[in-house]
Structure 1
């Protein structure tokens, strides 16, 4: 953020023209597509949106870049809006009893500033690669900032729909980014003046426009980062007026605003690393403030006191921790923020934790990434119930209590992380293409991975070599020399007379006995295990779905946790968990999509659209191509009602391509297909 570090996000090639991506809005039954020349428009790939406040740079944009003015934006004129609008509402979450004695609820929180891709040419709905920052440790995050922006591309970024949908499933709000760059990075003071311009009535039109964008796109507010130097007190006054109006308009819509510690009341840019008289008015005009990385133990302590003197919560201050370059190797004075022996002083603001992916070699795999990401969030022990006290990296799981959104029925998960090397359905590969799309990510276990045993602890990971559905499964790998219980989900699920839990599982190798573990109360205290009731299930070398009725548990009670207990003969075991579902009635199949159609085509690049059928219950949609021999090939999925597929070609001598679009429910039941065709 300050110009001693590289914070401009460079443009990369689009790389998406031939990608198979998720897609757009559309009636039931069969809808004929149109040949390329007959389509309503050319089919271009959709990208996440970005703007300048008003005036554009001089000259011409580089390849793959479109210069846009936010002031000129309207929802009606946004041709990619259907691809970029999030569809998952922000879930409520609860805090189970902490899994260790050091993690605390109700104190420090975590904000994460993440660049998921370049400012320009950042695909709206995933891409044909598994190499992606597929964040899964949402349970420790309270606010995600969709970081990016550059003077050559655009300064205001709207989060793409997959990121928002994944975050919302886990109860995490997502903020767009307003980045006014330092002059060393090409920042122009005119762009700051553009942002805070007033109309004849004295209002700030771009404050209204930012709120309109967040509402139309379905995300949760804005991170405002004014780092362009050269301003004066008058400009600071205008910025304060803008921020005050943005906050008022945002609060009326349930949105939030975070201010970055850069511009001061003099209008100059002077990073304080503290809450003080130089930035107090901006903090008061926002919901929270990100303190620059130059904080010290003394400045954090004084900042906490200053916040409380203003009647504010000290944890509304994010103490910046820059992990972009060194990740968990960075030296951090944790006791200044989240001391282990006393109340937390401030919240934690991670800058660029996607280091867990970026520092790995270019040949990295999804498994490599998740191993690093688990280390970052859970700690070196990879078990938040057994933290490594010698670890100098104080992982979030050590300080902050995890949260969960698993509170209602039906609940289903196939442990899909949002990327994979292949796509599986019912244990069979239906696409051999790598992919990513965070909007397809499941609600995932909040604490990973907690194993309880008197013997050796097996390794537990998300694995991408095989899956029941989606791209991944949970793999337990190691010797079971004593019964081992794996905590899977913290829940608040009602128990009825007909409640059923379904486990889809498989033993790859070794002799293993499996029991479903169900807890009807929280542990007696932090760090204590659940008191589970165990239900035996049968296992085998093929995928098997075992349905377990919760016989003997009190109807009207609540399931507080779900897990599995594995018992082996002492040798090495590889066992997979491919799915878990809880229901109190037969699984509902959603109705097929309505008015499915191809809205644009350019050769093998197609845009699809449809409408949701009445009745709801849709988790996401899937699109398959039906090949001439009758087999179905998965092309992609999306939670939106618009979808782009690129780079298709005729199969053999076929003259017409056939597609099937389905709605998928919470328990992964699929609707009848809406069929579409495209003539080559």
Structure 2
């Protein structure tokens, strides 16, 4: 094993607020528990008491009806269909630790300092990595991550992590997991399926590294994996096995597929091969997979980038040989959030620059994923729109007006974004049309490719672009590049005014009279030293009506902090309209206007710090539904009554 993998054992983090929840009009208690992403032990708990901020839970005893945090932890975005833009051979799985196991907020956080991953087009599977012997071993992915991944067609797996004994692993936890019922069922496999279906994610990554087992335990684990796969398959769930335990029941990282671990590969959907593989070992692994009647690309060759990122030495030719030879296996990136961990804090632009280099730019030693695997697109139906929102920012804008100057993050609000970007095109966080960012072109440039698509084209199809030139920038002429049936047409875009300008371009005449398909969208810019922003791009036929407003919201718990701000748990019935993308919450201000509080794809939101205007006894808050074109519903308001100081 690689020594750097010992960083996988996450430790407990800062304590969360504790205390029972209370109705909005009751006297607040000592605090309101913020909802957190859930984690469990299989059944038995560690001895002693949990660290501060950690809650020990048994998966065997979990029931959805008893889970007060469930409304905040349920994904609502279905897994999108997508298509490859080129030949598909090798694929990519990524094991990512978005946050520590405990204390991970369910609904984003009031900071922009997060791993706001955007390169979904290159992933076939995301593993929400976590777990430790001091917190919990079974980790469900957070709803915002699942929503963002699903919008881009990427399935997300939770983690079952049984750590080495040297790092607190206990063999009883492995035995708890694979315990059989009298009728032969595996109760905790059924619970894992229940958790994934209830939270609406896509399966489990099982990593058994606790030593001391015997052949009987190895047989039980193999049967457990096969049962978990069979029980999850009707619901679209998948299982990935990590190369650690062998059929003997002990731990022996094989670094290849062989007769010691092939039984687990046959039982699972795919296998993550440990990091110390060799060129010959990967070749024999792919050959054995095919002799077993399996796809060689169901093997993920582990690449540990946690410590060194792009400086990690990798035998790239062992996975994807040069000269057009078939790929040998797929890629398994371990901890690519190195790009975030090694970036300057609280600088989202610097993070995205590093992340773009990791995924898009090759050099003498680093072979970027974009150079090897085909990207995928989910642009197959209308309407489609994007405001180039990355899911975090240093403020929040609506129709070009800044309505919050607070940092924020919530990946569920992230848009579908261009897959391939060069250095002249970047996300910028100083100005936006909606959300926290816009797409900035800052260079002498010609054509900027944006999206590969299979969007239906009719005589009524239009494209809307909201754009602007930065103050003092050189004049720029913009044209919309539309590719239909292999032919690209360039449609002039009216020059922007002093601020954001929306242009509506009818493109149905491109090939819409015969009923065609939009294959690609881009921008051609003419000018020197361009500084031009794209704040919104939308493709639609008829403009739909605004969505229906949600049902009446309710505050299910509240507490006032010593600084005078209030924390609220808010839930509401879903809008009756189809095509609702997400919901946003605003605080009404006494002098007119609103302050953005947050947004979510679900029907519950935690407001961590509601600011009380001086002397205000009652604060009005509004919830709106937002559709795929970013049209907002009428508000669904509710009132929060601030407690009197003598109560």
Please, what TM-score do these two structures have when normalized by structure 1? Answer: 0.90
8 Å CA contact retained: 1:3, 1:182: no
Distance 1:36 1:43, change over 3 A: farther
8 Å CA contact retained: 2:116, 2:411: yes
User: Which residue of structure 1 lines up, in the alignment, with residue 538 of structure 2?
Assistant: 581
User: Which residue of structure 2 lines up, in the alignment, with residue 88 of structure 1?
Assistant: 77
CA distance in 1, matches of 2:119, 2:162: 30
CA distance in 1, matches of 2:587, 2:33: 20
1:676 to 631, 638, 642: 638
Q: Which stretches in structure 1 are left out of the alignment for 5+ residues? A: 18-32, 99-104, 381-389, 450-457, 523-529
Distance 1:547 1:15, change over 3 A: farther
CA distance in 2, matches of 1:153, 1:44: 17
CA distance in 1, matches of 2:508, 2:88: 36
User: Which residue of structure 2 lines up, in the alignment, with residue 264 of structure 1?
Assistant: 246
User: Which residue of structure 2 lines up, in the alignment, with residue 13 of structure 1?
Assistant: 14
Query: SS at the partner of 2:542?
Result: coil
User: Which residue of structure 1 lines up, in the alignment, with residue 44 of structure 2?
Assistant: 55
- State the shift of 1:510 in Å: 1.1
Query: SS at the partner of 1:494?
Result: strand
Query: SS at the partner of 2:149?
Result: helix
CA distance in 2, matches of 1:88, 1:338: 34
2:283 to 263, 280, 301: 301
CA distance in 1, matches of 2:113, 2:604: 24
8 Å CA contact retained: 2:462, 2:508: no
Root-mean-square deviation over aligned CA pairs: 1.7
Question: Is the counterpart of residue 126 in structure 1 residue 108 in structure 2?
Answer: yes
Distance 1:595 1:128, change over 3 A: same
CA distance in 1, matches of 2:530, 2:609: 42
- Write out per-residue CA displacement over residues 473-495 of structure 1, whole angstroms, 9 at most, x where no aligned residue: 00000235xxx011111111111
Q: Aligned pairs, how many?
A: 628
Query: SS at the partner of 1:591?
Result: coil
8 Å CA contact retained: 2:493, 2:503: no
CA distance in 1, matches of 2:419, 2:17: 32
8 Å CA contact retained: 1:42, 1:600: no
Question: Is the counterpart of residue 217 in structure 1 residue 206 in structure 2?
Answer: no
- Write out per-residue CA displacement over residues 482-522 of structure 1, whole angstroms, 9 at most, x where no aligned residue: xx011111111111121110000001111100111100035
8 Å CA contact retained: 1:2, 1:182: no
CA distance in 1, matches of 2:196, 2:260: 29
1:65 to 54, 69, 83: 54
User: Which residue of structure 1 lines up, in the alignment, with residue 485 of structure 2?
Assistant: 521
- Write out per-residue CA displacement over residues 183-234 of structure 1, whole angstroms, 9 at most, x where no aligned residue: 1110000000000001111110000000000000000000000000010101
- Write out per-residue CA displacement over residues 211-259 of structure 1, whole angstroms, 9 at most, x where no aligned residue: 0000000000000000000101011011111111101001121100000
CA distance in 1, matches of 2:508, 2:371: 36
- State the shift of 1:38 in Å: 8.1
CA distance in 1, matches of 2:184, 2:331: 36
CA distance in 1, matches of 2:221, 2:167: 21
CA distance in 2, matches of 1:424, 1:16: 30
- State the shift of 1:600 in Å: 1.3
- State the shift of 1:540 in Å: 2.9
CA distance in 1, matches of 2:545, 2:538: 13
User: Which residue of structure 2 lines up, in the alignment, with residue 358 of structure 1?
Assistant: 341
Query: Any residues of structure 2 matched to 1:323-334 within 5 Å, and which?
Result: 323-334=305-316
Question: Is the counterpart of residue 348 in structure 1 residue 337 in structure 2?
Answer: no
User: Which residue of structure 2 lines up, in the alignment, with residue 37 of structure 1?
Assistant: 27
CA distance in 1, matches of 2:297, 2:545: 42
- State the shift of 1:15 in Å: 6.9
- State the shift of 1:531 in Å: 3.1
8 Å CA contact retained: 1:127, 1:436: yes
User: Which residue of structure 1 lines up, in the alignment, with residue 615 of structure 2?
Assistant: 653
User: Which residue of structure 2 lines up, in the alignment, with residue 635 of structure 1?
Assistant: 597
Question: Is the counterpart of residue 561 in structure 1 residue 550 in structure 2?
Answer: no
CA distance in 2, matches of 1:298, 1:141: 25
Question: Is the counterpart of residue 429 in structure 1 residue 402 in structure 2?
Answer: yes
Query: Any residues of structure 2 matched to 1:43-192 within 5 Å, and which?
Result: 43-96=32-85, 98=86, 105-192=87-174
CA distance in 2, matches of 1:16, 1:424: 30
- State the shift of 1:347 in Å: 0.1
8 Å CA contact retained: 1:3, 1:185: no
User: Which residue of structure 1 lines up, in the alignment, with residue 419 of structure 2?
Assistant: 446
8 Å CA contact retained: 1:244, 1:286: yes
- State the shift of 1:539 in Å: 2.1
Query: SS at the partner of 1:407?
Result: coil
Query: SS at the partner of 1:208?
Result: helix
CA distance in 2, matches of 1:285, 1:424: 49
8 Å CA contact retained: 2:549, 2:635: yes
8 Å CA contact retained: 2:15, 2:54: no
- State the shift of 1:588 in Å: 2.9
Ranked by relative contact order (alpha carbons within 8 Å, sequence separation 6 or more), the top structure is 1
Query: SS at the partner of 1:340?
Result: coil
User: Which residue of structure 2 lines up, in the alignment, with residue 606 of structure 1?
Assistant: 568
Q: Which stretches in structure 2 are left out of the alignment for 5+ residues? A: 561-565, 643-647
Question: Is the counterpart of residue 663 in structure 1 residue 625 in structure 2?
Answer: yes
Query: SS at the partner of 1:304?
Result: helix
User: Which residue of structure 2 lines up, in the alignment, with residue 383 of structure 1?
Assistant: none
Query: SS at the partner of 1:546?
Result: strand
CA distance in 1, matches of 2:360, 2:400: 30
Distance 1:532 1:402, change over 3 A: farther
CA distance in 1, matches of 2:508, 2:457: 10
8 Å CA contact retained: 2:2, 2:276: no
- State the shift of 1:298 in Å: 0.5
User: Which residue of structure 2 lines up, in the alignment, with residue 486 of structure 1?
Assistant: 448
8 Å CA contact retained: 1:150, 1:181: yes
Query: SS at the partner of 2:7?
Result: coil
8 Å CA contact retained: 2:489, 2:510: no
8 Å CA contact retained: 1:93, 1:404: yes
User: Which residue of structure 2 lines up, in the alignment, with residue 466 of structure 1?
Assistant: 431
User: Which residue of structure 2 lines up, in the alignment, with residue 525 of structure 1?
Assistant: none
Question: Is the counterpart of residue 370 in structure 1 residue 352 in structure 2?
Answer: yes
- Write out per-residue CA displacement over residues 66-105 of structure 1, whole angstroms, 9 at most, x where no aligned residue: 0000000111111111100000000000112x4xxxxxx2
- Write out per-residue CA displacement over residues 545-592 of structure 1, whole angstroms, 9 at most, x where no aligned residue: 100001531221011111111001x3x221000000011001331100
CA distance in 1, matches of 2:614, 2:31: 25
1:319 to 286, 301, 309: 301
Please, what TM-score do these two structures have when normalized by structure 2? Answer: 0.95
8 Å CA contact retained: 1:663, 1:670: yes
User: Which residue of structure 2 lines up, in the alignment, with residue 625 of structure 1?
Assistant: 587
CA distance in 2, matches of 1:418, 1:180: 32
